[in-house]
A and B are shown apart, each in its own frame.
Chain A
Amino acid sequence: MPKDFGIGAPVKRREDVRFLTGKGRYTDDLNRPGQAYVHFLRSDVAHGRIAKLDTAAAAAMPGVLRVFTAADFAAVGGIPCGWQVTDRFGQPMQEPKHPVLADGKVRHVGDPIAAVVAETLAQARDAAEAIELDIEDLPAVVDMRAALAPDAPKVHDELASNLCFDWGFIEDNAAAVDAAIKAAPHVTTLELVNNRLVPNAMEPRAAVGEYDAADDQHTLWTTSQNPHVIRLLMGAFVLGIPEQRLRVVAPDVGGGFGSKIYHYAEEAFVTFAAKVVGRPVKWTASRSEAFISDAHGRDHITKIELATDENGKFLALRTDTLANMGAYLSTFAPCIPTYLHGTLMAGNYATPLIYVHVRAVFTNTVPVDAYRGAGRPEATFQIERVIDKAARELGIDPIEIRRRNFVRPDQFPYQTPVAVLYDTGNYQATMDKLEALSDRAGFPARREASAARGKLRGFGVAAYIEACGIAPSSLVGSLGARAGLYESATVRVNPTGGVSVFTGSHSHGQGHETSFAQVVSDLLGIDAAQVDIVHGDTARVPFGMGTYGSRSLAVGGSAIVRATEKIIAKAKKIAAHLMEASDQDVVFKDGRFTVAGTDKSVAWTDVTLAAYVPHKYPIEELEPGLEETSFYDPANFTYPAGAYACEVEVDPETGEVEVVAFTAADDFGNIVNPMIVEGQVHGGIAQGIGQAMLEVAAYDETGQLRSGSLMDYAMPRADDLPSFTVDHSCVTPCTHNPLGVKGCGEAGAIGSPPTFVNAVLDALNAGGFGVDHIDMPLSPARVWAALAAAR
């Protein structure tokens, strides 16, 4: 295969042409004939009882088709949760109801109360102002510790408390970990916050519902990372629509980062309302609305203890975390602080004893769910921060202490004490690469140069591992998933040889249309231009689980490989018949079938045509046609890993931090398109630095979101960041998927926050300011306060 378009080539993305010319088709670009618009009236208080809700005046306003309230949804189900966690005592988590429109009570600012459907958006908005609404304020619970107090107001009256679950992992190890910590020569303790974030994909969520009475068919266009998941959750659990009557389309989607995985009330609403009003119904979130209705990310409070011997050898690790669920359980919320966080607490290290305790808490805030990394950034942040503190306490170099504890290459496959089995990796190699690329040896001179300019320079390092390619269905099922986690692909070869690939994965920026085509073109030896990738439409693609958790290539790509292998096997039989040979003797290479040891050969297109025009065809043993489907269920997670370094300059007068350099050395296994992989790492690093330096979804004590717009919520901008140095030349191929790939979408967001924070603390401590920790985001005010306290 010519290296300019097969596996491993930095192929330019085909999807870019439509995006660069304004021809992208995002949900809000779509307009259906006769469409009406919905505007949601949302709660502006965090907690209250709806004392009065009178929609008569609004319904009489010009252009209004109908005003909906909870009463209209009495006969349908609530928004379901897709993961059930069992607590330390064997009991299921507390699972509150989540109505489509608030029923009796509002539980967070942004909770939808009523919905106005009108001829125009302006009319819908105007009419919403005429709704008479009285909310009797109730005291809000915002702080997680306060929410757990015995006399705290309850977010859900029907539940026993605000505790969703109390989870221990692995519970049977708790006593041994406790004993090891008590007996250890040295214990490093750190209390930290993993700050709440707003994902802020640049495309706000949108949805269009349409109903065709002629054949009782519903269609929903929505900004989703996984249209089949939405079809299943909404069809089966909320609206009771049989799946064959419900089509969900996720067209071009402008970024997701997790926030577009979940099934949201607005999607159910437009689908439901389109049938009631007999018109297509469109909704597009404003950015302000997105801030109070998209699921948020992170929001953990943690105490972590690391027990070591005098040489910095890790003996035991224990962590105790409060995880905010917000007011309702979003689709995968319970899984994030448990199985995506607890199972990663070994990090890259051979720590023999680990115990993870997590309590999940309801508060009067927006629901929290997976955001790029999902649980793994929270785990990595704790581990890599406590290790840095231990290194400082023990007087060991931070890279050296990590190297002493890395799982060694000869220990793979490595069984961690937190259930997962790492198949392969080489953490020393990525650390070597990092030290070279970041020129750590030259750092002292750079520090001196900064000092000469009155700046404190710091070098921070962190290692990370993540579990990607989620995951074996049987395993996740035993852990509480209410879904399977395979991926599907259909490869359809057309009579003239072109190929349509239908994938259950969904691309919202990842470039699947290009990289998946590279894979198929490589396997078939035909030009990538001959291969089209189709995704995002339940009417076209087989039942698929979608894109999140860096799973698309590892799971979705593997399904494509399997389906393509079936195509090749069948095509060889057809070719054998055409050449009157045995299919055992047929060799397929570079798009040609030959009989080994002879000069007989037929072209790819001879075979594809014969498959559909089966005049000369082994019809007794083979059906005509050339189309195969595969559902690939992986044997394990994949485990990308790497080492990151950050250099910062801190201004001791103002507390301002500048990121001067950032280096990433990753092991993603094999690479299909290095250009796309590097782009994923860049974006992840920017989001991670955003979390560590700038971003926070800040609630006040009454439950108002203080950073509720892009004016107040500090997104990383171009001048906040440097250019990055990224490398993926350390390769230990995944041992259990056909491509040997591991996934790269979240790595940057996982590895960069502790790297950045470690760099700032290195700058401060080396500058003579004894500071153990600063909570993210490390704003100038916080850094300045830490400097002042240390002076």
Chain B
Amino acid sequence: MPRVSMTVNGRPVSGEVEGRTLLVEFLRETLRLTGTHVGCDTGQCGACVVHVDGASVKSCNVFALDLEGVEVRTIEGMANPDGSLGPIQAAFQQNHGLQCGFCTPGMVMTAAALLAENPSPSEAEIRAYLEGNICRCTGYHNIVKSIQAAAAELAAGRVAAE
């Protein structure tokens, strides 16, 4: 079987995969990083969203073998260096942006991508950006609130750093 090597959450990894092995399978089955979830088989739900070279990607939609040398970031790589919750994660906890937690990794990764592109999105922009992520539990109300809070928190952090 062919081998693929990449960097996941800053760690170099490699493993044998079949041609049909999806990135999400490589993460979950080979690397046992089970924080990235599979909620569908049609690329609709967004539970599997990770970052590949900084861009948000549905990991159920790409083959591992095509990703030689890329940098992948998953939910396991979103905490602060000391292990405490990162700002987006903390905002989700603070604002009850999750219930069963199944969509949550994808939501957090999508939120991170949004805030990297657009540091102060409006509610309508947040809702539009979440189009590819389904949550069955929260009705999105508190997810939107969490992302708004994270945006404010990150902005405050930037101001403080200046």
Q: A interface vs B, CB < 8 Å?
A: 12-13, 15-24, 26, 28-29, 31, 122, 200-204, 252-255, 257, 284, 286-288, 508-511, 675-676, 678-679, 682-687, 709-711, 715-719, 721, 723-724, 748
> Is B151 located at the chain interface by the 8 A CB criterion?
no
Per the bound structure, the CA–CA distance linking A389 and B97 in Å amounts to 38
Q: Which residues of chain A come closer than 8 Å to B99, judged between CB atoms?
A: 255, 509-511, 679, 683
Q: Count of chain B residues with Cβ under 8 Å from any Cβ of A? A: 57
Per the bound structure, the CA–CA distance linking A204 and B44 in Å amounts to 14
User: Do residues B144 and A718 form an inter-chain contact, with CB atoms below 8 A?
Assistant: yes
> Is B38 located at the chain interface by the 8 A CB criterion?
yes
Q: Which residues of chain B come closer than 8 Å to A509, judged between CB atoms?
A: 99-101, 137
Per the bound structure, the CA–CA distance linking A16 and B84 in Å amounts to 12
Q: Which residues of chain A come closer than 8 Å to B139, judged between CB atoms?
A: 682-687, 716, 721, 724, 748
Least CB distance from A140 to B in Å reads 25
Per the bound structure, the CA–CA distance linking A253 and B100 in Å amounts to 7
Q: In chain B between 124 and 158, which residues have their CB closer than 8 angstroms to a CB of chain A?
A: 124, 126-128, 130-131, 133-145
Least CB distance from B141 to A in Å reads 4
Known: A17-B85, A202-B135, A255-B99. A22 touches B76 (CB 8 A): yes
Residue from A23, A202, A687 whose CB has the most chain B CB atoms within 10 Å: A202
Q: In chain B between 53 and 84, which residues have their CB closer than 8 angstroms to a CB of chain A?
A: 74-76, 78-79
Residue from B47, B78, B108, B140 whose CB has the most chain A CB atoms within 10 Å: B140
Known: A202-B47, A710-B42, A718-B130. A254 touches B79 (CB 8 A): no
Per the bound structure, the CA–CA distance linking A135 and B77 in Å amounts to 50
User: Do residues B96 and A679 form an inter-chain contact, with CB atoms below 8 A?
Assistant: yes
> Is B92 located at the chain interface by the 8 A CB criterion?
yes
User: Do residues A203 and B100 form an inter-chain contact, with CB atoms below 8 A?
Assistant: yes
User: Do residues B45 and A202 form an inter-chain contact, with CB atoms below 8 A?
Assistant: yes
Q: Which residues of chain A come closer than 8 Å to B94, judged between CB atoms?
A: 12
User: Do residues A710 and B78 form an inter-chain contact, with CB atoms below 8 A?
Assistant: no
Q: Which residues of chain B come closer than 8 Å to A683, judged between CB atoms?
A: 99, 136-139
Q: Which residues of chain A come closer than 8 Å to B140, judged between CB atoms?
A: 682, 686, 716-718, 721
> Is B11 located at the chain interface by the 8 A CB criterion?
no
> Is B37 located at the chain interface by the 8 A CB criterion?
yes
User: Do residues B37 and A203 form an inter-chain contact, with CB atoms below 8 A?
Assistant: yes
Q: For B38, give its contact among A28, A510, A717 (CB under 8 Å).
A: A28
Known: A20-B108, A21-B76. A717 touches B98 (CB 8 A): no
**Nearest B residue (CB) for A510:** B99
By Cβ-Cβ distance, the 9 closest A-B pairs, closest first, are A22-B35, A19-B101, A254-B102, A686-B139, A509-B100, A509-B99, A710-B44, A682-B139, A29-B34
Q: B interface vs A, CB < 8 Å?
A: 18, 20, 28, 32-42, 44-45, 47, 74-76, 78-79, 85, 89, 92-94, 96, 98-105, 108, 123-124, 126-128, 130-131, 133-145
Least CB distance from A561 to B in Å reads 24
Complex A-B: 15 CB contacts under 8 Å? A15-B101, A17-B93, A18-B101, A20-B92, A21-B79, A26-B34, A202-B47, A202-B134, A678-B96, A682-B139, A682-B142, A710-B134, A715-B134, A718-B131, A721-B139
User: Do residues B136 and A718 form an inter-chain contact, with CB atoms below 8 A?
Assistant: no
Least CB distance from B96 to A in Å reads 5
Per the bound structure, the CA–CA distance linking A287 and B104 in Å amounts to 18
Least CB distance from A617 to B in Å reads 43
Q: Which residues of chain B come closer than 8 Å to A717, judged between CB atoms?
A: 130-131, 134, 140
**Nearest B residue (CB) for A507:** B100
User: Do residues A287 and B128 form an inter-chain contact, with CB atoms below 8 A?
Assistant: no
With A254-B37, A686-B138, A723-B144 already in contact, 13 other A-B pairs whose C-beta atoms are closer than 8 Å? A15-B101, A24-B34, A202-B102, A202-B135, A203-B39, A509-B99, A682-B142, A686-B139, A711-B44, A716-B139, A717-B130, A718-B133, A721-B141
User: Do residues B136 and A20 form an inter-chain contact, with CB atoms below 8 A?
Assistant: no
User: Do residues B85 and A20 form an inter-chain contact, with CB atoms below 8 A?
Assistant: yes
Q: Which residues of chain B come closer than 8 Å to A709, judged between CB atoms?
A: 40-42, 44
Least CB distance from A109 to B in Å reads 17
User: Do residues B134 and A22 form an inter-chain contact, with CB atoms below 8 A?
Assistant: no
Q: For B100, give its contact among A22, A254, A682 (CB under 8 Å).
A: A254
Per the bound structure, the CA–CA distance linking A710 and B41 in Å amounts to 9
Least CB distance from B130 to A in Å reads 4
**Nearest B residue (CB) for A719:** B127
**Nearest B residue (CB) for A726:** B141
**Nearest B residue (CB) for A673:** B96
Q: Which residues of chain A come closer than 8 Å to B18, judged between CB atoms?
A: 122
Per the bound structure, the CA–CA distance linking A508 and B103 in Å amounts to 13
Q: For B98, give its contact among A19, A710, A719, A724 (CB under 8 Å).
A: A19
Least CB distance from A4 to B in Å reads 14
User: Do residues B136 and A200 form an inter-chain contact, with CB atoms below 8 A?
Assistant: yes
Per the bound structure, the CA–CA distance linking A374 and B69 in Å amounts to 51
Q: Which residues of chain A come closer than 8 Å to B124, judged between CB atoms?
A: 719
User: Do residues B128 and A723 form an inter-chain contact, with CB atoms below 8 A?
Assistant: no
Per the bound structure, the CA–CA distance linking A252 and B99 in Å amounts to 11
Known: A203-B37, A509-B137, A711-B44. A719 touches B102 (CB 8 A): no
Q: Which residues of chain A come closer than 8 Å to B96, judged between CB atoms?
A: 12-13, 675-676, 678-679
**Nearest B residue (CB) for A19:** B101
Known: A202-B100, A718-B127. A21 touches B136 (CB 8 A): no
